[in-house]
């Protein structure tokens, strides 16, 4: 795995209990998908990492290009074909005190790979979800290590035998516990606008490109829980889930429990981008 700028064996890693990531969740992270040994939308993920870092006033001590190369080498070193890279940067190691440590404290970067098959059955058949009140903080645009709200939401979904929790603030649907949410009604795609209430998903950006390519109009406007239940099609997106149809929300079956035609077209357009990457 990668620790700062060194590739080392997992067994040789030691991390401090005084790491601010461990003590406060004081750090940021990214997950980058790897198809056939190639990282998908790595530049966009790295850009978002630096944006998250800026927002929490953390300075990553490498250029974006150097970090990109380090991640490339990690994937090569681990001979990863299908899976993802996880990376996080914390504000470093210092005696526990809420305020930032001195400027001499170096951030701690770790990254490792995880092999995983693509969730093809979910893509094919769709998944069930539940509504969960969004109790997270007001900077959900930062990909922070503080994931307690997301963890509690996902656990609720898990206990309800569902794949994902669709979070809502009051009546307004925001996003999943680890995904973005979309609804399609009368040939128009709706999704929450990018502001402080949601993470601007990298897959979301790809989805919007796919919509443009297939000629599906997009309205970046929030919808309500009630509207979600009346959509013709609903789906979610994330780096690891890609484009996953939603066929049930609470007790309401969407589109007779079958992934819809537009969702299928978006999946196909997405697939073409994956194929292009692996042909390079
Ligand atoms: N929202 C949240 C809360 C997430 O955790 C994720 C997954 N990282 C997403 C949206 C989707 O983002 P991406 O497409 O970049 O994986």
For the stretch 238-269, pLDDT in tens is: 999 999 999 999 999 999 999 999 999 999 99
On whether both 84 and 153 belong to a single domain, the answer is: no
Residues 135 and 256 in one domain: yes
Q: Based on the domain organization, do 247 and 157 belong to the same domain?
A: yes
> Tokens standing for 31?
């997950």
Asked whether residue 190 falls in the same domain as residue 104, the answer is no
- Residue-wise pLDDT for 196-252, tens only, equals 999 999 999 999 999 999 999 999 999 999 999 999 999 999 999 999 999 999 999
Q: Residues 57-107: pLDDT tens digits?
A: 999 999 999 999 999 999 999 999 999 999 999 999 999 999 999 989 999
Domain boundary among 115, 133, 156: 115
- CB-based pocket (< 6 A), ligand 1: 31, 150, 175, 178-180, 199, 201-204, 237-239
Res 243: pLDDT: 98
Ligand 1 probe mutation, 143, 238, 241, most atoms within 8 A of CB = 238
Query: Mutation test of ligand 1: which of 29, 119, 179 has the most ligand atoms closer than 8 Å to its C-beta?
Result: 179
Q: Show the domain range for 218.
A: 120-278
Per-residue pLDDT of 127-184, as tens digits, reads 999 999 999 999 999 999 999 999 999 999 999 999 999 999 999 999 999 999 999 9
**Is 185 considered catalytic here?**
no
The CATH number covering residue 216 comes to 3.20.10.10
Mark whether 111 and 147 lie in a shared domain.
no
Provide the number of structural domains found in the chain. Answer: 2
Q: Are residues 132 and 259 in the same domain?
A: yes
40 and 166 inside one domain: no
Q: Are residues 138 and 249 in the same domain?
A: yes
Q: Does residue 73 share a domain with residue 158? A: no
Helix axes 202-214, 261-279, angle to 10 degrees: 110
Q: Whose CA is nearest to atom 10 of ligand 1?
A: 179
Q: Are 123 and 242 in contact (CB under 8 A)?
A: yes
Q: Answer yes or no: do 41 and 87 share one domain.
A: yes
Given 115, 132, 152, the domain boundary residue is 115
Q: Are residues 35 and 131 in the same domain?
A: no
Cβ count near 218 (within 10 Å)? 15
CA dist 30 → 148, 221, 232 (Å):
17, 26, 32
* Spacing, Cα 28 to ligand 1 middle (Å): 13
């Amino acid at each position: 795995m990668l620790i700062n700028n060194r590739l080392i064996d997992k067994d040789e890693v030691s991390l401090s209990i005084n790491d601010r990531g461990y003590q406060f969740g004081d750090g940021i992270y990214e997950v980058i998908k790897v198809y056939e040994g190639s990282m998908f939308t790595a530049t966009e993920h790295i850009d978002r990492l630096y944006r998250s870092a800026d927002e929490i006033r953390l300075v990553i001590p490498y250029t974006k290009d150097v970090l990109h190369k380090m991640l490339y080498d990690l994937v090569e070193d681990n001979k990863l074909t299908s899976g993802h890279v996880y990376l996080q940067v914390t504000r470093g190691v210092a005696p526990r005190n809420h305020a930032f440590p001195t400027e001499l404290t170096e951030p701690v970067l770790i990254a490792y790979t995880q092999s995983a098959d693509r969730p093809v059955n979910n893509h094919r058949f769709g998944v069930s979800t539940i509504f969960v009140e969004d109790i997270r903080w007001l900077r959900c645009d930062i990909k922070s290590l503080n994931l307690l709200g997301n963890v509690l939401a996902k656990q609720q979904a898990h206990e309800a035998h569902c794949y994902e929790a669709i979070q809502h603030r009051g009546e307004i649907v925001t996003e999943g516990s680890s995904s973005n949410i979309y609804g399609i009604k009368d040939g128009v795609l709706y999704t929450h606008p990018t502001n402080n209430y949601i993470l601007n998903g990298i897959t979301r950006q790809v989805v919007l490109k796919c919509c443009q390519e297939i000629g599906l109009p997009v309205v970046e406007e929030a919808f309500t829980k009630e509207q979600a239940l009346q959509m013709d099609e609903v789906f979610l997106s994330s780096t690891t889930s890609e484009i996953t149809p939603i066929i049930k929300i609470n007790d309401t079956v969407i589109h007779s429990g079958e992934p819809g035609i537009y969702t299928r077209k978006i999946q196909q357009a997405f697939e073409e981008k994956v194929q292009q990457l692996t042909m390079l």
